[in-house]
Structure 1
Amino acid sequence: MKPGTDIAAQTYGAAVRDALPPIGLGTWPLTGPAATAAVLTGIESGYRLIDTATVYDNEDAVGAALATCGVPRDELFVTTKLRGSDHVSGSIRGAVERSLDRLGLDCLDLFLIHWPMPRLDRYVAAFEGILECRDAGLVRYAGVSNFLEHHLRRVVAETGEAPAVNQIQMDPTIARVPVRRAADELGVFIQSWSPLGRGEVLDSPVVTAIADRLDATPAQVILAWHRAHEVVPIVRSANPQRQAENIAAVQVRLESADIAALDALDRGESAARDVEREEHF
C-alpha cells in the first residue's frame, strides 16, 4: 500500500475489483428492441457486466433483456448512471429508484455520477446521495464517471469515502495516466468507456502488427491492453459476432514489449474530452 493511502478506500476498491466481470457490454446509443436484442446476444456470448445510463434512454429495454435472458440475477453486474438533471435537482434517491423501476431490479450493482459538471458544484453532494442509497440497500457500489484527479480528491476529502469506480474515456492513444495514478493511490478502480477509441487506433500499425503476431483481432489486442493495466473496458457492439470476438479478448496475453509499444501511442490528457465543460442533462 502506498504511503497515505486510506485502508478503507483500498478495501472498497479491492471489493469491486473482485466483483467486476473482466469486460463489460456498453449499450449506448441503442434503444428499444435493438438494445434488448444486443443485450440478449451479449449475455449469450458471455458478458455479465451490462452498462447503461439514464441519459441513454434505454434502461427499460436493457431491463427487458435482463428479465428474459435466463441468467440468474446474482451472476449479472448491472451499472447505470445519474443524469445531469437529477444531479442538479439533488433527488439522488429518486433517480436511483426510477432507474431500478425501469430496469426491473431491486438493487443496482453500481451507480455512477455520469459527469462531474463542476460549474454547478454539486458532485460531492450527489456522491453523498449515492452513498445514502448504498447504505439503504438500493446500490451495492457508489462510483463516478469522467472525474479528474482533483474531483476524486475532493470527494474523498469531503465525504471520507473513495468512489468504488471511476469510469473514464481511455484507449491507447488517450491512456489517462494522471487520472489512473491518482485512482490507484486513492483505491478507486478504473473502468474505461470508448476503449477502442473512435476507430483510428484499430488501424494503427502498432496494433495491427501485434494482432497479426498473436492471431487476434486489433480490437482484442486493445482490450487486452486495458486488462493488462487492470482496467475493465466497457465495449459496445450490437453485432453478435463482434460481441463474441471482443469478449474473447480475455484469452489474449500481451508481452511486456507489446504493452510498452501500445503505451507509447498516448497523446496525453489534452486528447481526452473536456470534462470540465461537458454537461449532459
Structure 2
Amino acid sequence: MNITLNNGVTMPALGLGVFQSAPEQTTAAVEAALAAGYRHIDTAAAYGNEREVGEGIRRSGVDRSDVFIETKVWVSDYGYDQTLHAWEKAAGKLGVGHLDLFILHQPAPDRFEKTIAAYKALETLLADGRVRAIGVSNFMPHHLTDLIAETGIVPAVNQIELHPYFTQPDVQAIDAEHGILTQAWSPIGGITFYPGWGEDRRNVMADPVIAAVAGAHGKTPAQVMLRWHLQQGRSAIPKSTNPARIAENFDVFNFELSAGDLAALDALDAGVRNGPDPDEAREERFAMAIPEA
C-alpha cells in the first residue's frame, strides 16, 4: 500500500521503525522486515544505527531502488552548512547515493532560526536530487506555520507521536490543510514504555476496546491499531526487532475496520502526550554530536 506525497513521490505507507533498536540487533531486524515484505525503513542520525540499517538492506538482497529510506537530521546538525553535511554523514553511513525522505527531527523552538536554515538546506538537497522528499518531525501547528512562512517548499511529511491514546487532531488538521502526510511514530503505543517520561501510564496494547475490535476480526491489538492508521490515510512505522512480530505487524492488508471500529479507537484519545514536549527547550540535545560517516 503506497501513499503519494505532495511532490508526487510514492512511499510505502507502512515502514519499519528502528528507534531504540540496538545497533547489533538492527541489521537482522531490517533483513527480517524486507523478507516479510516491508519496503520502507525509518531511522535517524540520533538513533546511532544508520550504518546497520544500510547493512541490513544490502544483506537482504532487495534492490536499493525498491527500498524507501527515511532518516532524520539531529538538532546539533541544524544550520544550513551543517545540515548539508548531515546529509553526507547519513548517506555515508547508510551506504547510499540518495535518501528517499530526509526530515528534521525536532522543531528546536529555542533556536528556530537554525531550524529554518536547516530546512533551507533540505530544500537545496531536494533541488540537487540528493533527496527525493523532505519533511519534519514533532512539529506542532505553530511550528509548521512559522516554517512555511519562512521557506519555499511545504514539508511532505510530519512525523509525530500518534496512537489511540494521543491522536493530536490539531496537528493532523493543519497537516491535511497543507497537504502534509501525517506519519505516526509510536503507532501502536510503544511510547508508553518511553524511558524518562514518567511511570504512571496505561499500555495501549492492553486496552479492552482495542482487544474487543481485535477479537472480532481475528487480529491482534497491534494489527488493529496499524490498520486504523492506514484506513485514516496515515503512514505508520512500528518498531520491533522480533522477526515474528515484524511479520505480524505487516499482516494488516487483508481485513478492514468498520466505521464503528474506527470511531471506537478515535474515542480513546486522552489528549495526553507521553513523549517529549516539542516546545520544551532542552539544551542537552545540542550537546549530542553526530559522528562522521
- Normalising by the residue count of structure 1, what TM-score does the alignment of the two structures yield? 0.91
Q: Distance in 1 between matches of 2:276 and 2:211?
A: 26
Structure 2 runs not aligned, ≥5 long: 193-202, 289-293
**Pairing 1:127–2:130 present:** no
Q: CA deviation at 1:171?
A: 0.2
Q: Give the root-mean-square deviation of aligned CA atoms.
A: 1.7
Q: Distance in 1 between matches of 2:117 and 2:179?
A: 20
Q: Distance in 2 between matches of 1:272 and 1:182?
A: 20
Structure 1 runs not aligned, ≥5 long: 1-10
Asked whether the equivalents of residues 42 and 237 of structure 2 are also in contact (C-alpha less than 8 Å), the reply is yes
**Pairing 1:256–2:269 present:** no
State the secondary structure of the residue aligned to 2:278. coil
Q: 1:178 to 1:92 in 2, by over 3 A?
A: same
Name the structure 2 match of 1:48: 39
Asked whether the equivalents of residues 80 and 118 of structure 2 are also in contact (C-alpha less than 8 Å), the reply is no
Name the structure 2 match of 1:196: 188
Name the structure 2 match of 1:38: 29
Structure 1 residue ranges, 4+ long, deviating more than 6 angstroms after superposition: none
**Pairing 1:168–2:160 present:** yes
Q: CA deviation at 1:202?
A: 1.1
Q: CA deviation at 1:89?
A: 7.6
Residue 13 of structure 1: which of 3, 6, 11 is its match?
A: 6
Q: Distance in 1 between matches of 2:256 and 2:92?
A: 40
**Pairing 1:113–2:116 present:** no
- After TM superposition, the structure 1 = structure 2 runs for residues 1-281 of structure 1, keeping only pairs within 5 Å, are 13=6, 15-16=8-9, 19-87=10-78, 90-121=81-112, 122-198=114-190, 200-268=203-271, 273-277=276-280, 279=282, 280=285, 281=288
Q: Distance in 2 between matches of 1:74 and 1:241?
A: 26
The code of the aligned residue for 1:259 comes to L
Deviation digits for residues 10-50 of structure 1 (CA, Å, limit 9, x no counterpart): x952624xx11121101121233311011101110111100
Deviation digits for residues 110-151 of structure 1 (CA, Å, limit 9, x no counterpart): 001000110011222111111101111111101100001111
The code of the aligned residue for 2:149 comes to A
Deviation digits for residues 151-191 of structure 1 (CA, Å, limit 9, x no counterpart): 11122111132101000000011011000100000111111
Q: Distance in 2 between matches of 1:165 and 1:91?
A: 22
Asked whether the equivalents of residues 41 and 70 of structure 2 are also in contact (C-alpha less than 8 Å), the reply is yes
Q: Distance in 2 between matches of 1:264 and 1:243?
A: 27
Higher helix share: 1
Q: 1:75 to 1:278 in 2, by over 3 A?
A: farther
Range with bigger deviation, 29-38 or 122-131:
29-38
The code of the aligned residue for 1:43 comes to L
Asked whether the equivalents of residues 67 and 104 of structure 1 are also in contact (C-alpha less than 8 Å), the reply is no
Asked whether the equivalents of residues 16 and 238 of structure 2 are also in contact (C-alpha less than 8 Å), the reply is yes
Asked whether the equivalents of residues 25 and 236 of structure 1 are also in contact (C-alpha less than 8 Å), the reply is yes
The code of the aligned residue for 2:187 comes to P
Size of the aligned set, in residue pairs, is 269
- Normalising by the residue count of structure 2, what TM-score does the alignment of the two structures yield? 0.88
State the secondary structure of the residue aligned to 1:190. strand
Asked whether the equivalents of residues 102 and 134 of structure 2 are also in contact (C-alpha less than 8 Å), the reply is yes
Asked whether the equivalents of residues 115 and 278 of structure 1 are also in contact (C-alpha less than 8 Å), the reply is no
The code of the aligned residue for 1:184 comes to A
Q: Percent identity of the aligned residues? A: 39
